[in-house]
Amino acid sequence: MSTTRPQLPDDRPEQGGSGVDDGAGPAAAVGRRTRRLTLVGASGVVPMARDFAREALREWGWTPAEGADRKAAAEDVLLVVSELVTNACLHAEGPEEVLVSTDGKTLRIEVSDLGSGEPAPRTPHRAGRPGGHGMFIVQRLSIDWGVLRVPGVPGKRVWAEVAAPA
């Protein structure tokens, strides 16, 4: 599913920043843990974003994973992070920020960029064809995903949510 909404019901406007947010912001007050990584001007952003997400997963108890379901869930998150950041690199002049947050039931990944394009799975999807699989992968691994835009502000945030392992 792909949706374009200005704001989801549980979203709160967030202040800009750099580095890592350990959940001390407004989301922490309602039990949501959040980490933020600024990527403006950085090189090697895809592995940097994966390492950042891997550290968040470790901190939040998703890894080291015990059992196949937990390991698969953690790998799904890392793949979704890679695909969203790669998409921003290829189609939007690079990502500006990666935000990961969890409420214990889902993990949300957001990648912001200044692009005006609308990400969508390529249709028809042809598995044997090289390239163009990123948003199809995100769609398959996520319980929901979409695009957030703020009227009058350039760019967007592409988000995806992955279910926590049982």
Mean pLDDT (whole number) for 57-76: 90
Q: Residue 60 burial by CB count (10 A; 0-12/13-18/19+): exposed, middle or buried?
A: middle
Question: In what order do the strands lie in the sheet containing 95-102?
Answer: 2-5, 144-148, 156-163, 106-113, 95-102, 33-38
Mean pLDDT (whole number) for 23-29: 39
Q: What percent of the chain has a predicted confidence (pLDDT) above 90?
A: 57
pLDDT: which is higher, 3 or 53: 53
Superfamily of domain 2-6+31-163: Histidine kinase-like ATPase, C-terminal domain (3.30.565.10)
Average confidence score pLDDT of the chain: 82
Which pLDDT does position 117 carry in this prediction?
A: 85
DSSP 83-139: HHHHHHHHHSSSEEEEEEEE-SSEEEEEEEES--------SS--TTSSS--HHHHHH
State the pTM of this model: 0.79
CA distance 109 to 20: 14
Q: Assess whether pLDDT exceeds 80 at residue 129.
A: no
pLDDT: which is higher, 45 or 9: 45
Which pLDDT does position 65 carry in this prediction?
A: 80
Which pLDDT does position 27 carry in this prediction?
A: 37
Mean pLDDT (whole number) for 37-54: 96
